[in-house]
Structure 1
Amino acid sequence: MLTLFRWFLRLTLGLIVVALLATLLVWYFAVRSLPDYAASYRVSGIGAAVEIVRSTEDVPHIFAQSDSDAFFALGLAQAQDRLFQMTVLRRASQGRLAEIYGERALPSDDLARRMGIARAARASLESQTPETRAALQSYAAGVNQWIEIVNQGALGRGAPEFFLFPDDIAYWQPADSLAILKLFAAAASRQLPAEVLRAQLSLAAPERGQDLVAGIGEAAMPAYASLFSAARISPTAPDAAPGWPWDLAGYLVPFSGLGASVFSADAPRTAAGQPLLANDPQAALTMPSLWYLARMQLRSGDVIGATIPGVPAIMSGRSARLAWGFAPAQNDDADLHIEEIQPGDTNRYRGVNGWQDFAARREIIRVNGGEDRTITLRETENGPLLSGSSFGLNTVTPVGFAASLSWTGLSQDDRTMSALIGIMTAQDRAGAIAAAKDWGTPAAHLTLADRDGISERLVGLSPVRASGHQTLGRMPTPGWIAANRWQGVTALDMRDAAQDGVDLATGALVGTSATLGHDGDSGLRRERLRRLLDGREVHSRDSLIETQLDIVSPAARALLPLVGADLWFTGEPAAEGTPERQRQDALRLLAEWDGAMNEHLPEPLIYASWMRALQDRLIRDDLGPLSEHISTLHPGFIERVFRNRGGAAAWCDIRQSAAVESCPTIARQSLDAAILDLTARYGPDVASWRWGDAHEAVQMHPALGPIPRLGWIANLRQSLSGGDTTLARAPLNAAADSFLPVSGSGYRGVYDLADPDSSVFIIASGQSGHPLSRHYDDLAVKWRRGEYVTMSLDPDLARAAATGITRLLPSAPATVPAPAATAETNAP
């Protein structure tokens, strides 16, 4: 027995030692992948020495003697910090995520392949200006140089994620950057799911379904079933979320809809007598952020601002003379067409003049840990066919039909990259406006500021639809009818939209109540922004920061007096601890609330829960299973019902009940249901509830985040103020039982032309994508608190505060292959 005990003890100690050594080995290789910011490298591809000065916040300040060398250094710096993120974005655009993530990434790969994002990017490369092609080539060489340095120095493969996923890192190609920019354009649009939802609503509730999404003044649409009278269409809800696994989405999800605010004050309305500009493009809240801060020394002048890893352009930022920012215009840039397949021959479809062949090809999706999938990609004159599983298309597509996509981003001569580089190198507004004429997708509100004033331009492409289009692009239409097809695309009107010295844009045309798309609730944030800007005679940098961080919900201010009109202060005070007393306490708090979605208050939680329960109660009996998938709040719909616009109060009556319910009755029942749910979650004391307890951002690392224990290191959780309609936007998770924000203003910048070096910016994570780096999340807490860091172009200040200086020294061209201008890559 003693001998057995000794052997057991030795085995246990041996296992402990092995585990400890394995842990130390993993730690060693993980730490090896941390870049040394104070190193010097002999590199091929540059003409003179380059310095990358890292500020305290790890912002690279690139000092180079030529533009080519500056773009080379930007590629190397981004690869140092975000190599894994860059390869994932590239894979996402190419439809090759399943090669590392397995079968769960198949839907996203299928969608990207069918859309042809990477093919369109490769085709667009030759359409770029010579300067842009040179910048793309130099940038790719810089990325490739870092990959070579990592390989030669055995530097932990460049990122710890590469140890967990089978990923041979291919050299970067210029077209890869264009593909990521196209992926961003696809993510900026929200038109596809909007069209599917309208069709679903028309099928589920033909008489009143469009009340949920209709904007004020929109023309009535035909019933969706009338467009396909001979087909059988299922009005049931989709079985799964559309097309993209959210734990992999991480960075950019096609047609998820990216928002932004961009607003400015001209010299007569500023304290210092020079223009101000603020911009806060939004994206999924992830670790690391989609955005990456950088400064570049160019021949045209130094520039600083926000980039996307993989894209060599300052998308929002400033130079010494010019500031620029953008907001996706949410124009209706995509249409779905329902194509009839020829009976007995799936290779043909019905065209305007009869049956014709699909353009078809086959591609293989390689699946890590599973069988490879061969898919047939078919294309019509309207665009590529999409899978029925994407965006719930199978719920509105008749048997014997398929859905095709027309989207402005499928252009094969898209020069948006050239527009971006032209803007960042422009000397003034006139030069930037000239460059912006090349802007393709996404269509955007571009705001420019220099010392002579402010300009706002609507840039990008928009489809031309015939006057006889059956749905004007708001629902899928029969693809064989000529009037439903695009008549081409046109550049949006690049007009100035100044109003009393203040320009503003939140995704809709300034000065109008309509949007370029069909989002009936977009005016809420726009009107709140206009009110804040008009409320001050004189603006300063701090007042624009205050506006950018505004957390007052215009939807709450509009809906609560309307929904609660017959509930405020009714009846005698109820006994403590009763549901009636909880309702009275909740109503008292809401009656005194100013609408601020502050994470430390109970009122935002009560309001959000009440409105969600109210909308669900209004639509559930009419829409049936579809209501399970409509948990995004539609304030315009609730307002329409309680004002009984066009008889919309009919939604308040529960069809299954014998009684006729009134809207006040539904409002009270919904509030009781919300209080009951919140009590179960947070206890009976209404005053102790906190919005931040429910509205907690889980900034997930798309690769490491879902893995047990590793997620504890790689993910970041922090409560946030704000909500769906606040200017400091934090839209909620689509899950019906969740209030988690899924996106937000991942970048914020405020540019001051009176004192440019006092301009500020911030991102929602740290600069590094390495979970063991101290710069992985060091900016996230500042971002949450509404703090910023200075974006100075002073080289002496950058060097004085440097935490490391990477020196790149030229050497003879050696081992790094030059990226091919049009080569198609077969690796990540």
Structure 2
Amino acid sequence: MARRDRVRDGALRLLRTPAVRAHADRGSVRLSGLTDRAMVRRDDRGVPWIIAHDERDLYFASGFAQASDRLWQMDVLRRRARGRLAEVLGETVVPEDVRARRLALERVARQSLELVDRASYACLVAFSDGVNAAIRRLRRRVGLPVEFLLLRYRPEPWTPLDSVLIVKHLGFDLGTNLRQEVFRMRLAAERPRYATSFSAPRYPIDGAVTIRRPGQGVDKRLGRPGASESAPVVELPEQSRAWLRGLLDGETSPGSNAWAISGRLTRSGAPLLANDPHVLFTQPSIWYQMGLLLPAERAKAYGITVPGLPGLIAGSNSRLAWGITNATVDTQDLCLLDGPAARPTWRQESVISVRGGADVAVRAAGGQRHVEFDAPGPDGAARLGLFWSGFVPSTEIVGCMRMWRAETYPRFRAALRDFGVPVLNVVVATADDVIALKTAGNVPRRRPGSGLAPASFGDVAESWQDLLSFDELPETVNPAEGYLISANHKLVPDDAKVHVGVDWVAPYRAERIEQLIRDGSISAEECARWQNDLADGRAARVLPVLLDALAARPPTDPLARTGHRLLSEWDGHARGDQPAPLVFLRLLQALVDRWVTEPLGADLATSMPDLTLQVDHLILDPEARRQLGETEPLPVVVAEALETAIARIVTAHGTDPAGWRYDAVHRVNDRHPIAKALPGLRGLFGGDETPVGGSGHSVCLMTPDRSGAAIEGAPWRFVAEVDPAGPVLRDVLRHGSSGLPGSVHYDDQTPVHARGQTYLVPLAGPQGAADRTLTLLRSRPATG
């Protein structure tokens, strides 16, 4: 046996031993930190239900369960937020650590922790105690997760600050406007000739709006851009460029689908809620399934959280179900640090320890609501800073612990007041047949028209007049249509009372969901099928125009004519086993190359956050093409682009169209963080590649990168039928509950997820599962 194979087999044995033992827990164990007792009862998927007599023991046991399943992932999440990844993963992650150190999230996290009420703080401490009890038990009984062994370090004790930091960093990850502002700044400085073409937002005029005026429908027209700020003609400073590296590639991606339907429209008469939050595909998933039960208070809930956070962020209790989407409102503003007002009011110096490399010194500085990107230079060069509403202290960690217990919309709404970051659209359905959507989080009150591009420090500070009050944030309750949809599209009409932003994700998913609701027979089973709907909303918008162009000027190459035929016969559903979706993907990429990459250059083009809407605007608007400098008529452009697309396909897949399957390239290959430090072991931690259908604009979101690989989608799918007699819940999580390679629950849900199926989930948890129940008992006091 070759040495490499022996190393691999030995590593696999290391992987399996602690994983199998960890999920075989049954019986009882005594632990310090409990006030009485709690139970961790697991279902057939290894998903834990936590049962306790009081809240502190409930959160102790939930921390214990999370750490038992996902300890290394929890450690990575807090290290990301603190800027300490390089200590264990090495030089490749130094830019991430520098960014985190300059964000100085620990500063606002400490301020936020001081605002937490005493009872909630006690629950945070109990959660931390449970995590630490699991760490001690893992070290004594089954060994730490193998990532700690391979990287040769031990986890530090968990603290309440770690939990707060994780949610703050998640809030920064879900911010979207920063990328738009950087792109507009670079465009003005590096390619000013094209600023008119690509600076303005291109959201369709009268397109789908989340909270719409009575009678407002969906209009497929693309609109003319509104007024926009002029980006200052300043080169992006080198420190800022390094700070932003890794944030600017590809289109804006954080998204989700959520919809609620009144019982008056459903087959059963009970309201329905569906949610599938979108994130980058990773191994394990960022989501963690969990049930919480307090029998003495008749409180029970099921849903998901992020490992390291107590409570639930989406799910259902006995009377109310809720889902979340990124609101994609504008909470970030870049500024030029000019003038005495921009001088920092605080400074921090720190050193990043780098595994296998030299230490890196980092200076962080800023004010009440901003941080500096660039340190002062001797030459007076331009420097950038970032205003972000997440720098205002807030207690969303408390909201996570309150939402799951609220059984009426008014009580649930009150729990949302705690949220600062991330800014979410929260969709609700109750057993009383109330459906609602409420935006929650810190949103700046700013002048309309501001925030599109970087401005002077004084202008940005002046435009941030305050934060919008909770009651001013967008909300709709029981809309006349009987349903509501949140899919990261435009939140409010242009003439809304509050200004929350202008840069939105394309409305194509929202339009398709609305079509399904209007045309379908509405049931929980149908909602679960809709979450797997493969209709490409972008194709519905632009493919007829592209086909008209090809009909006017058919391609001359025989294989390109075959591609034309495949597109003409295509029903617009991005099925993995068909060639047409691949032809459509490569055709659009060829148009991107012609209209965006060639004039802007690859680096700037890659960082365009609203690429889809900009290119679709060019397809549909002759004046936009003329303004760009396109001299050929659309039929010629599309025919040439199709020939380029087919040539690329033939190079990769041959001349036989039977081999042009979309899922030959459109596959999910989940990334495990350890690959950054030990790339040779990536295969031991990631699942097999999964061929998938869907696209970046289907309800079943499967966003492709340039190669066609699916990099983002919905690991968790959830549907709740909120019947007054008790909710009927369905869900599935790509991979599984465990983050321990070798566990049967590491990826046992993946085949079900890939088939578009879900599991029925009893709210009260598994019954008769004594062989999968671990009872946690309070340690006996020491005797003298």
Contact preservation (8 Å) 1:289, 1:765: yes
AA at the equivalent of 1:732: P
1:687-721 CA distance string (max 9 Å, x none): 43111111111111111477455222211211121
Which residue in 1 is equivalent to 2:211? Answer: none
**In structure 2, do the counterparts of structure 1 residues 315 and 540 end up closer, same or farther at CA, with 3 Å as the change threshold?**
same
1:714-773 CA distance string (max 9 Å, x none): 11211121111111112222xx4x111211112111001126453101111111111111
**1:552 aligned counterpart, secondary structure:** coil
For structure 1, the residue ranges without an aligned partner over 5 or more in a row are: 1-12, 247-252, 341-349, 389-393, 654-659, 816-828
Which residue in 1 is equivalent to 2:669? Answer: 698
Contact preservation (8 Å) 1:440, 1:461: yes
**1:433 aligned counterpart, secondary structure:** helix
Shift of the alpha carbon at 1:254?
14
Pairs within 5 Å for 1:500-511: 500-509=481-490
Rounded Cα–Cα distance in structure 1 between residues aligned with 2:605 and 2:781: 60
Please say which structure displays the higher CA radius of gyration: 1
Rounded Cα–Cα distance in structure 1 between residues aligned with 2:87 and 2:753: 34
Which residue in 1 is equivalent to 2:740? Answer: 770
Which residue in 2 is equivalent to 1:527? Answer: 511
**In structure 2, do the counterparts of structure 1 residues 25 and 484 end up closer, same or farther at CA, with 3 Å as the change threshold?**
closer
AA at the equivalent of 2:35: G
Rounded Cα–Cα distance in structure 1 between residues aligned with 2:428 and 2:665: 38
AA at the equivalent of 1:535: D
Pairs within 5 Å for 1:807-826: 807-812=775-780
Rounded Cα–Cα distance in structure 1 between residues aligned with 2:720 and 2:460: 48
**1:46 aligned counterpart, secondary structure:** coil
**Matching of residue 615 in structure 1 with residue 600 in structure 2:** no
Shift of the alpha carbon at 1:235?
11
Pairs within 5 Å for 1:11-26: none
Q: Which moved more, 1:507-516 or 1:309-318?
A: 507-516
**In structure 2, do the counterparts of structure 1 residues 357 and 27 end up closer, same or farther at CA, with 3 Å as the change threshold?**
closer
**1:700 aligned counterpart, secondary structure:** coil
**2:748 aligned counterpart, secondary structure:** coil
Rounded Cα–Cα distance in structure 2 between residues aligned with 1:309 and 1:214: 36
**Matching of residue 301 in structure 1 with residue 299 in structure 2:** yes
Say how many residue pairs are matched: 747
**In structure 2, do the counterparts of structure 1 residues 708 and 271 end up closer, same or farther at CA, with 3 Å as the change threshold?**
same
**In structure 2, do the counterparts of structure 1 residues 359 and 46 end up closer, same or farther at CA, with 3 Å as the change threshold?**
closer
1:273-320 CA distance string (max 9 Å, x none): 111101111111011111111111123511111111100121111111
**In structure 2, do the counterparts of structure 1 residues 146 and 31 end up closer, same or farther at CA, with 3 Å as the change threshold?**
same
Shift of the alpha carbon at 1:803?
5.7
**Matching of residue 594 in structure 1 with residue 571 in structure 2:** yes
Q: Which of 619, 623, 639 is 2:616 aligned to?
A: 639
Which residue in 2 is equivalent to 1:673? Answer: 644
Shift of the alpha carbon at 1:240?
7.9
Rounded Cα–Cα distance in structure 1 between residues aligned with 2:36 and 2:251: 43
**In structure 2, do the counterparts of structure 1 residues 166 and 270 end up closer, same or farther at CA, with 3 Å as the change threshold?**
same
1:122-167 CA distance string (max 9 Å, x none): 22112123332122111111001011112333x22x2000011133
Please report the TM-score for the alignment, with normalisation by the length of structure 1: 0.84
**1:446 aligned counterpart, secondary structure:** strand
**2:135 aligned counterpart, secondary structure:** helix
Q: Which moved more, 1:369-378 or 1:644-653?
A: 644-653
Q: Which of 128, 133, 136 is 2:116 aligned to?
A: 128
Q: Which of 217, 223, 228 is 1:221 aligned to?
A: 228
Which residue in 2 is equivalent to 1:275? Answer: 271
Contact preservation (8 Å) 2:26, 2:770: no
**1:567 aligned counterpart, secondary structure:** helix
1:754-799 CA distance string (max 9 Å, x none): 264531011111111111111111111111111111221245xx13
Q: Which of 134, 139, 158 is 1:172 aligned to?
A: 158
Shift of the alpha carbon at 1:594?
1.6
Q: Which moved more, 1:261-270 or 1:753-762?
A: 753-762
1:576-621 CA distance string (max 9 Å, x none): xxx7121111111111212111111111110011001112101234
**In structure 2, do the counterparts of structure 1 residues 762 and 609 end up closer, same or farther at CA, with 3 Å as the change threshold?**
same
Shift of the alpha carbon at 1:516?
4.0
Shift of the alpha carbon at 1:522?
2.4
Pairs within 5 Å for 1:252-267: 257-267=253-263
Which residue in 2 is equivalent to 1:84? Answer: 72
Contact preservation (8 Å) 1:380, 1:404: no
**1:281 aligned counterpart, secondary structure:** strand
AA at the equivalent of 1:271: R
Which residue in 2 is equivalent to 1:560? Answer: 543
Which residue in 2 is equivalent to 1:316? Answer: 314
Contact preservation (8 Å) 1:277, 1:750: yes
Contact preservation (8 Å) 2:716, 2:731: yes
Q: Which of 362, 366, 370 is 2:353 aligned to?
A: 366
1:233-277 CA distance string (max 9 Å, x none): 3799x988943499xxxxxx9996521111011110111111110
Shift of the alpha carbon at 1:80?
0.6
Shift of the alpha carbon at 1:53?
1.2
Contact preservation (8 Å) 2:251, 2:608: no
Identity %: 26
Please report the TM-score for the alignment, with normalisation by the length of structure 2: 0.89
Rounded Cα–Cα distance in structure 2 between residues aligned with 1:666 and 1:40: 70
**In structure 2, do the counterparts of structure 1 residues 271 and 29 end up closer, same or farther at CA, with 3 Å as the change threshold?**
closer
Contact preservation (8 Å) 1:303, 1:318: yes
Contact preservation (8 Å) 1:463, 1:487: yes
1:803-825 CA distance string (max 9 Å, x none): 6221211114689xxxxxxxxxx
Which residue in 2 is equivalent to 1:391? Answer: none
Rounded Cα–Cα distance in structure 2 between residues aligned with 1:592 and 1:184: 43
Which residue in 2 is equivalent to 1:250? Answer: none
**1:93 aligned counterpart, secondary structure:** helix
Rounded Cα–Cα distance in structure 2 between residues aligned with 1:113 and 1:474: 26
Contact preservation (8 Å) 1:322, 1:448: yes
Which residue in 2 is equivalent to 1:714? Answer: 685
Q: Which moved more, 1:21-30 or 1:430-439?
A: 21-30
For structure 2, the residue ranges without an aligned partner over 5 or more in a row are: 203-222
AA at the equivalent of 1:329: A
Contact preservation (8 Å) 1:757, 1:794: no
Rounded Cα–Cα distance in structure 2 between residues aligned with 1:29 and 1:722: 33
**1:404 aligned counterpart, secondary structure:** strand
**1:336 aligned counterpart, secondary structure:** strand
**Matching of residue 351 in structure 1 with residue 335 in structure 2:** no
**1:282 aligned counterpart, secondary structure:** strand
Rounded Cα–Cα distance in structure 1 between residues aligned with 2:289 and 2:354: 34
**2:737 aligned counterpart, secondary structure:** coil
**Matching of residue 243 in structure 1 with residue 223 in structure 2:** no
Aligned Cα root-mean-square deviation (Å):
3.1
Shift of the alpha carbon at 1:172?
0.7
Shift of the alpha carbon at 1:58?
0.6
Rounded Cα–Cα distance in structure 2 between residues aligned with 1:254 and 1:381: 31
**In structure 2, do the counterparts of structure 1 residues 73 and 256 end up closer, same or farther at CA, with 3 Å as the change threshold?**
farther
**In structure 2, do the counterparts of structure 1 residues 339 and 633 end up closer, same or farther at CA, with 3 Å as the change threshold?**
closer
Which residue in 1 is equivalent to 2:205? Answer: none
**In structure 2, do the counterparts of structure 1 residues 633 and 359 end up closer, same or farther at CA, with 3 Å as the change threshold?**
closer
Shift of the alpha carbon at 1:338?
1.3
Contact preservation (8 Å) 1:100, 1:368: yes
Contact preservation (8 Å) 2:229, 2:453: no
Rounded Cα–Cα distance in structure 1 between residues aligned with 2:347 and 2:532: 50
Q: Which moved more, 1:526-535 or 1:378-387?
A: 378-387
**2:539 aligned counterpart, secondary structure:** helix
Shift of the alpha carbon at 1:207?
4.9
**1:530 aligned counterpart, secondary structure:** helix
Pairs within 5 Å for 1:174-573: 174-212=160-198, 214-215=201-202, 216=223, 218-224=225-231, 227-228=232-233, 233=235, 242-244=244-246, 257-298=253-294, 299=297, 301-340=299-338, 350-352=339-341, 356=343, 359-380=346-367, 383-387=370-374, 400-412=381-393, 414-453=394-433, 454-466=435-447, 472-481=450-459, 485-491=463-469, 492-497=472-477, 498-509=479-490, 512=493, 516-519=500-503, 521-536=505-520, 538-568=521-551
